[in-house]
């Protein structure tokens, strides 16, 4: 039976089709989920994709957090449903308190779009098992509100518990504290990151690399072997 991975579309989502394509390339079935639908349609995992949900007019992800689809998603994520938040999706996960901390505007106050070098810090989450801890990868980055912040106690807890999933290398593109590019919850089923792995799954598209594909093969293997 083919694993079914939902991709939520909010008003202002930009990367839902790209994410669906990445899921399909990994060998799973992408399932389109609409933000107003309270039914997750029995998917095995969910991706909150990048974009500017509701135009980010209030605060990035703050309005999307209250979309009807988030009610069952939050409940099921707390019960173990694998959830990946990419860029705006990461912002939504912090707003929904499924991940700690917050995302603020880039410290240089400019939108950034670049190929970003990362180090994999945690290869034990539902979305990262096809990587190796310490592995260096390149993933496209594009954001305006990508600066990850949290109080010192939270940051220390993330570090001590191995919950920093990815860290920026060579350059910190947005002022994120401790060079954090992505984090995971304690259970390892919810992961959020600012870079866009769905734009690095085919050699002829996006960055020209396939460094992002393991996100989608990792979750597929977890679901198949569950």
* Residues with catalytic function: 87, 196, 198
Helix or strand run (H / E) with residue 95? helix 88-95
**Cβ atoms 3, 224 nearer than 8 A:** yes
Q: Tokens 């970003």 — which residue?
A: 116
- Closest by CA to 194, choosing from 24, 51, 34, 5, is 51
Q: Tokens 């954001």 — which residue?
A: 143
Cα–Cα distance, 102 to 151 (Å, whole number):
10
Cα–Cα distance, 111 to 105 (Å, whole number):
9
Give the CA radius of gyration of the chain: 16
Tokens standing for 185? Answer: 């919850």
CA torsion sign, 93 to 14 to 143 to 61? negative
Q: What are φ and ψ of residue 168, in 5° steps?
A: -70, 140
């Amino acid at each position: 039976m083919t694993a079914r991975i939902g991709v939520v579309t909010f008003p202002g989502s930009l990367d839902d089709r790209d994410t669906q394509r990445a899921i399909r390339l990994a060998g799973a079935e992408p399932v389109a989920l609409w933000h107003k639908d309270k039914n997750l349609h029995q998917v095995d995992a969910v991706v909150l994709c990048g974009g500017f949900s509701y135009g980010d007019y209030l605060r990035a992800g703050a309005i999307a957090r209250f979309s009807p689809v988030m009610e069952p998603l939050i409940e099921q994520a707390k019960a173990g449903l694998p959830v990946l938040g990419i860029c705006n999706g990461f912002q939504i996960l912090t707003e929904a308190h499924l991940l700690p901390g917050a995302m603020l505007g880039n410290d240089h106050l400019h939108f950034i779009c670049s190929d970003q070098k990362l180090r994999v810090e945690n290869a034990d989450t539902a979305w990262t098992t096809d990587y190796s801890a310490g592995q260096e990868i390149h993933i496209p980055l594009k954001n305006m509100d990508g600066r990850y912040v949290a109080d010192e106690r939270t940051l220390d807890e993330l570090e001590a518990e191995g919950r920093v999933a990815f860290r920026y290398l060579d350059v910190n593109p947005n002022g994120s504290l401790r060079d954090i590019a992505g984090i995971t919850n304690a259970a390892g089923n919810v992961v959020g990151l600012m870079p866009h792995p769905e734009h690095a799954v085919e050699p002829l598209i996006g960055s020209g690399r396939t460094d992002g594909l393991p996100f989608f093969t990792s979750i597929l293997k977890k679901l198949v072997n569950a």
